[in-house]
Amino acid sequence: MDLFFDIIVYFLFVYAFMPTILARIFHIGAFFQGSQNENKVFITFDDGPDKLYTPRILDILKETQTKACFFVLGEKARAHPEILQRIQAEGHEIESHGYAHQFPWFLGPLGTKRDLMKTSSIIAEITGKPPRFYRPPWGVLNLFSWFFLKGQQVVLWSFMSWDWTKRATASLIADRVLSRLKNGSVLIFHDSDKTPGSAPKSPELVIKILPVIIQEIKKRGLQPAALSELIPEKRKKLSYALFEKWDQTVLRLMGVKDLSDKGRPTVFRVALRKFKEKQLPLPDGTILKKGDLVVELHLNNTFFKQFGERNELSMLGLLAKHKVQEDLSAIAGWIAANPRHDEIKAITGLTIIHRGSRLVGFHTFDLPPLKSFLIRLYESMVLVMLHPSGYRRITRYWKKLTPKLLVMSKIELFRRYLI
């Protein structure tokens, strides 16, 4: 049960919390602020198009000769293509806010792909060009949000106007915005009241106060600008960099460390753990019990990522076998030098890459169905990030990817690999 809970927490942290933390707190891979050396601000609207509110906002923008960016929902764009056409004709930007404002943490990999690609397709069909920018609903991401963005840049906001809340008033919105307004600010408003949590008729407040805010922006010598002026046209894809960032952070929090051998990286990462599975008898007479000290093995994802960028996916399994044989001696040496080596009973690992593991000394054990599914889902996510063709291969061979618990006793490890 403890191991199952650990897996759930680890999965949620990696899949949901970490990508959001990287974007929202550390602003890695997400734009939220322009240069303070240029007199520009960026006005954006979320959740539309709305047939009641968006045209009235467009009227204000036209009268004040102000450019803005509309982050639209795919289902609303499909329902009101004429509004998107007007937005485009009047020189504003049209970007993606997802299809139906679903919470990204509750979307799986396939759901995330459908949400992003369906919205992009609808926008491209109506406007003639796909979106360049994406604002996630509630500013929340999952791991696959990055992978399926297909070159789109994540854009958040410099501060929240809170225009959609029940307690909002026109004066409160104006005070919040104008008190924090500065060069490079990315402002966020909403042109719909149909999304969850939005107060009824809240865009009426935006319509009421928007001319005042625009007037004050220009009075301060600032110029409302297009997001394309904030973000360069071409940027390096961030999915791998983000993957490395959360991978390293999560494993560090879990106490997992890279293992090197004479200065060279190995395929393993290691951590001392108490065994949490049921009692296992091993062929050499070792009986592994719950609470025994074991070395928990993790594959070095950074190593495999670099290899995956250069080689066919099918080579990963061959590399794993070769590197495991080469690096198990490093594991044996690390255990022998560990102050707690007398307490360590075995090495263990959970993986979908277990072909040929018996040939190098491991014994494989089945896992409970739910635990097996979670591990398969997580390691499949990792494999997608490791290799450009990973997603295609994973979807093709999904049912054949059965995770196993690998176990080798310390006695067997030392007999085979301790030099």
Tally of structural domains, the chain = 2
- For the residues 383-398, what does the mean pLDDT come to? 58
Same domain, 54 and 198: yes
295 DSSP β-pair partners: 272, 347
- For the residues 21-41, what does the mean pLDDT come to? 85
Same domain, 50 and 168: yes
Same domain, 245 and 217: no
> Quick check: 318 pLDDT over 50?
no
Catalytic residue from among 190, 298, 354, 387? 190
Same domain, 343 and 317: yes
Last residue of a domain, one of 206, 230, 254: 230
- Would you state the pLDDT for residue 239? 54
Same domain, 261 and 199: no
- Would you state the pLDDT for residue 166? 93
- The answer to whether residue 18 sits within a structural domain is no
Q: Which domain holds residue 156?
A: 30-230
Same domain, 144 and 263: no
Would residue 190 show up in a list of annotated catalytic residues for this protein? yes
> Quick check: 316 pLDDT over 50?
no
Provide the CATH number for the domain around residue 179. 3.20.20.370
**Type of residue found at 91:** G
Same domain, 134 and 217: yes
- For the residues 24-28, what does the mean pLDDT come to? 82
Per cent of the chain over pLDDT 70 is: 83
Last residue of a domain, one of 177, 201, 230: 230
Same domain, 225 and 245: no
pTM of the model: 0.65
- The answer to whether residue 6 sits within a structural domain is no
- Would you state the pLDDT for residue 290? 92
Catalytic residue from among 46, 247, 292, 327? 46
Same domain, 51 and 138: yes
Same domain, 173 and 34: yes
**What are the tens digits of pLDDT across the range 191-238?**
999 998 899 999 999 999 999 999 999 999 999 999 988 876 444 455
**What are the tens digits of pLDDT across the range 63-100?**
999 999 999 999 999 999 999 999 999 999 999 999 99
**What are the tens digits of pLDDT across the range 298-313?**
887 766 655 554 444 4
What's the rounded Cα separation, in Å, for the pair 160 and 181?
Answer: 11
- The answer to whether residue 282 sits within a structural domain is yes
